[in-house]
């Protein structure tokens, strides 16, 4: 990689016509706009919350116009290029054919099909830096094209961009593919270019216990740091329980300080609720505001915001603009006066960290953490709930307690302590002993946790 050209790993890579690695480095170094890394560092130092919307459409000019509108009317700190599903799964020819036939049929921007030169035009059209968000278990070509375009913020990892999205991609393969990306980021860091690598701890976004989210991102962070990555954004998804979410966000910094090298910068990122969203606008906007306030209280560095259109489908430009402003209201100093029970937060943070330490202990003690992660998923000592991928056992069963916090009804094969098991069982005890208790019905209600807001109006 650090020789004359970007390392490409696919048979058709030569057809992309990528520039030489040294030319890419030179191009990135002369850019005057801030990088995501520089914004994260400044915001974290000042205690300011960055706000970033999701967005991605197929056509070049439509994508450009969308970003320009968002920037002019909502002033987000970071912008997004969400990549289409065909590109995520390496179906580049299909993405190119759909782009020609009807780009409206694409659910994101086909970066590889458009090519790095057109992507540079997108980047130059706005002042805010852009992050590439996708969902690919094999992002090597996508990353190389994104890098050639000048983008230096790239989301994903070998666990978090495999298990929630793919049916039968082996963990060993996705980890190897993402190792390439992290290796390139390490080489770039040696050249003075820091790529922000965001880890998608939201996973399936459905009832994910905080300790599973943070354990998976900690494993990915350890692997990334091993390859030389210097900037990690660790994302966690809103559960909807204020104390638990604030504790989980704070736990990210605790775990990073324990296990990652001092030279690696870590920034907590908060994804607003990714489950069933209320359809009524006032309830949706209340949830957006609640998520942003949670991020502020949890000392997150960046927020990925939602819109009032979430229950209906792809949000309109106006809904995205409104969502950004709704989230920004929660960053007002007026809410400094809103005090939270710090003793409860500390207790929850300690419990989350203890569970994470139990889960990742076999990886930390292994000679080869990559092989240890593969073995862990094969044996079930690493696992996530509701995995789309058969290479995870999905024997973990989460459940909300009476307060709405997400607990473990079953740990599956996770190697957690007896103390952690007793705590989770005790917090669920009143629910489990109810007359007529049915786990399936309870899971349905838990998944629709905020969707039920509309029923009370």
* Tokens coding 238: 């809103």
Confirm whether 88 is a catalytic residue.
yes
Catalytic residue among 54, 88, 140, 250: 88
Catalytic residue among 131, 155, 220, 355: 155
5 forms beta bridges with 20
Between CA 102 and CA 430 the distance in angstroms is 54
DSSP-derived 3-state class of residue 201: coil
Pair 149, 18: CB distance under 8 Å: no
User: Among candidates 77, 179, 194, 109, which has minimal Cα distance to 147?
Assistant: 194
78-100: b (≥16 Cβ within 10 Å) or e: bbbbbbbbbbbbbbbebbbebbe
Strands, E, within 121-179: which ranges?
130-133, 153-155
User: Among candidates 403, 408, 400, 405, which has minimal Cα distance to 443?
Assistant: 400
H or E element, residue 295: helix 281-297
Between CA 213 and CA 396 the distance in angstroms is 13
Residue found by looking up tokens 């590889």 in the block: 112
Pair 197, 185: CB distance under 8 Å: yes
Between CA 126 and CA 136 the distance in angstroms is 26
User: Among candidates 135, 127, 50, 121, which has minimal Cα distance to 90?
Assistant: 135
* Tokens coding 442: 């309870």
Between CA 73 and CA 71 the distance in angstroms is 6
H or E element, residue 255: helix 242-259
DSSP 47: T
Pair 269, 197: CB distance under 8 Å: no
Helical pair 281-297 and 317-329, crossing angle rounded to 10 deg? 50
Between CA 67 and CA 53 the distance in angstroms is 10
Pair 70, 53: CB distance under 8 Å: yes
Longest dimension (CA), the chain: 69
Alpha carbon 126 to its chain centroid, in Å, reads 23
Confirm whether 342 is a catalytic residue.
no
Helical pair 210-226 and 171-190, crossing angle rounded to 10 deg? 50
User: Among candidates 306, 298, 221, which has minimal Cα distance to 266?
Assistant: 221
Q: Active-site residues: which are they?
A: 88, 155
């Amino acid at each position: 990689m650090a020789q004359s050209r970007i390392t490409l790993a696919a048979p058709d890579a030569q057809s992309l016509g990528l520039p030489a690695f040294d030319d890419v480095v030179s191009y990135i170094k002369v850019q005057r706009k801030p990088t995501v890394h520089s914004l994260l560092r400044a915001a974290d130092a000042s205690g300011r919350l960055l706000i970033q919307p999701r967005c991605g459409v197929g056509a070049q000019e439509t994508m450009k116009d969308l970003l320009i509108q968002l920037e002019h009317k909502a002033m987000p700190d970071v912008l997004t290029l969400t990549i289409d599903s065909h590109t995520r799964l390496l179906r580049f020819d299909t993405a190119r054919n759909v782009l020609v036939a009807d780009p409206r049929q694409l659910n994101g921007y086909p970066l590889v099909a458009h090519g790095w030169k057109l992507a540079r035009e997108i980047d130059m059209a706005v002042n805010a830096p852009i992050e590439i968000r996708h969902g690919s278990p094999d992002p090597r070509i996508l990353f190389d094209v994104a890098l050639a375009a000048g983008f230096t913020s790239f989301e994903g990892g070998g666990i978090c961009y495999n298990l929630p999205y793919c049916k039968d991609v082996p963990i060993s393969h996705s980890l190897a593919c993402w190792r390439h990306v992290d290796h390139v980021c390490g080489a770039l860091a040696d050249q003075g270019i820091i790529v922000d690598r965001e880890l998608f701890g939201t996973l399936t976004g459905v009832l994910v216990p905080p300790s599973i989210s943070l354990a998976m991102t900690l494993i990915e962070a350890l692997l990334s740091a091993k390859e030389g990555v210097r900037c990690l954004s660790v994302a966690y998804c809103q559960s909807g329980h204020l104390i638990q979410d604030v504790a989980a966000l704070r736990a990210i910094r605790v775990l990073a300080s324990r296990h990652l090298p001092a030279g690696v910068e870590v920034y907590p990122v908060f994804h607003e609720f990714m489950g069933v969203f209320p359809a009524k606008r006032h309830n949706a906007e209340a949830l957006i505001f609640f998520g942003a306030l949670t991020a502020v209280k949890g000392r997150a560095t960046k927020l990925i915001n939602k819109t009032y259109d979430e229950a209906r489908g792809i949000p309109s430009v106006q809904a995205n603009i409104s969502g950004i402003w709704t989230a920004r209201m929660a960053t007002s100093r007026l809410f400094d006066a809103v005090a939270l029970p710090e003793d409860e937060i500390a207790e929850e943070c300690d419990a989350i960290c203890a569970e994470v330490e139990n889960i990742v202990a076999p990886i930390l003690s292994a000679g080869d953490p990559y092989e240890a992660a593969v073995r862990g998923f094969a044996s079930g000592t690493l696992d996530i709930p509701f995995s789309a991928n058969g290479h995870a056992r999905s024997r973990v069963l989460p459940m909300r307690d009476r307060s709405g916090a997400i607990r473990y009804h079953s740990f599956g094969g996770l190697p957690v302590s007896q103390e952690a098991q007793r705590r989770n069982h005790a917090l669920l005890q009143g629910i489990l002993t109810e007359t007529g208790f049915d786990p399936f019905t309870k899971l349905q209600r838990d998944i629709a946790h905020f969707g039920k807001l509309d029923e009370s109006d």
